[in-house]
Structure 1
Amino acid sequence: MRIISGTLKGRRFSPPKSFSARPTTDIARESLFNVLNNRIDFEDLSVLDLFGGTGSISYEFASRGCSNITTVELNYKHFSFIKSMLKEFELSDAIKVIKADVFKYIQKDSMTYDLVFADPPFDLKNFDEIPDRFFENKLLKDDGVFILEHSDKKSFEDHPYFTEVKKYGKVHFSFFSVKE
């Protein structure tokens, strides 16, 4: 895997073979960040990365100048891998990684964020509940964006906060916002 753009552009990282996470592909990540490049100023963002996995999304935000990133990951191997990459990439000041269950974390977190990205396991039992559970906890700033990565087998277009979907092969990114 590689970091697509920014100060760490081209830097590679390889999760161990025993990794159980399904990382966002380089192509899908590049496409998503091309969309975001035209919409947001990375340097001023507060970002919450849920289901951190390899940490690739957080590294992309940090590489583009974002310095207020919180990554939540429950799996100890994944959490440890992210911690080691923060050290290797010298991103410990920009990214705070927390080992926690995402659903418990979002119930307790009192911060609000400009952008929240969630890439849960596609076979997660309560996957369809994620947008509702997220919005119940009011973690998004008024003009913020929640992005949920999911397979092409899911659709969230009927959700009241859904705004659009970006499709890259079998990977889809649904965008949600509380803006009217």
Structure 2
Amino acid sequence: MRIVSGQFKGRRITAPKKLPVRPTTDMAKEALFNILNNQYYLDDISVLDLFAGTGNISYEFASRGTENILSVDQDHGCIKFINETAASFEMDIQTIKSDVFKFLERSKQQHTIIFADPPYDFSVEDFTKIPDLIFANNLLETDGLLIVEHSKYTDLSGISNYSHSKSYGGNTFSFFENTTSDEEE
């Protein structure tokens, strides 16, 4: 995998083979960041990377100027790899080793973009828990975006706050929006 754009464009990252991960493809990642670049000033946002794995998405945000990044994964090896890689690139990426669902239940911090890349073999019920917990706990800023990566064979369009999906090869990104304003709360 490589960093697609920004300060570290072209840098290759090689994760240990023993990590339980499936990194987002460079093609899908590039397409996703083209969308995000048109909606946000990436140096001005807060990002939460759930099921962070290798940290692939976190590095891409950091390379593009995002300074407020929190990566969450339950695998010790993944967290160690993210910390080592971020340190070698001098990226300020915070990490938390935790089960994502437990983290979402107790977290109180809001983010502009929340990216979740759970295992593709999750049931629709497990996928549904992600936006349910995020919106129930008000973890997404107004006009924020939740992006869930999943297989093209999984349909998340029936979940609350669903906006749309984009597919790139076998990868699909489903977008969920927080459209409530502060006045409505």
TM-score range relative to shorter protein: over 0.9
Instruction: Give the helix-richer structure, 1 or 2.
Output: 2
1:1-44 deviation per Cα after TM superposition (whole angstroms, max 9, x unaligned): 11000001011110111121111011111111111111110011
Structure 1, unmatched stretches of 5+, are none
Determine which of 100, 105, 116 is the counterpart of 2:114: 116
Question: What SS does the corresponding residue of 2:149 show, helix, strand or coil?
Answer: strand
SS at match of 1:163: strand
Which residue in the other structure is 2:183 paired with? none
Aligned to 1:52: 52
SS of the residue 2:78 aligns to: helix
Secondary structure of the residue aligned to 1:104 is helix
The answer to whether residue 101 in structure 2 is matched with residue 103 in structure 1 is yes
Across the aligned residues of Structure 1 and Structure 2, the Cα RMSD in angstroms comes to 1.2
Aligned to 1:77: 77
Alpha-carbon distance, 1:100 to partner = 0.8
* Counterpart-to-counterpart distance in 2, 1:134 and 1:172: 20
* Structure 2: runs of 5+ lacking an equivalent: 181-185
Q: Deviations over 1:22-70 (max 9, x none)?
A: 1101111111111111111001100100001000100000100000000
Q: 4+ residue stretches of structure 1 with deviation over 4 A?
A: none
| Helix, strand or coil at the partner of 1:30 | helix
1:25 partner letter: T
The sequence identity of aligned pairs, in percent, is 47
TM-score by length of 2: 0.92
**How many residues were matched structurally?**
178
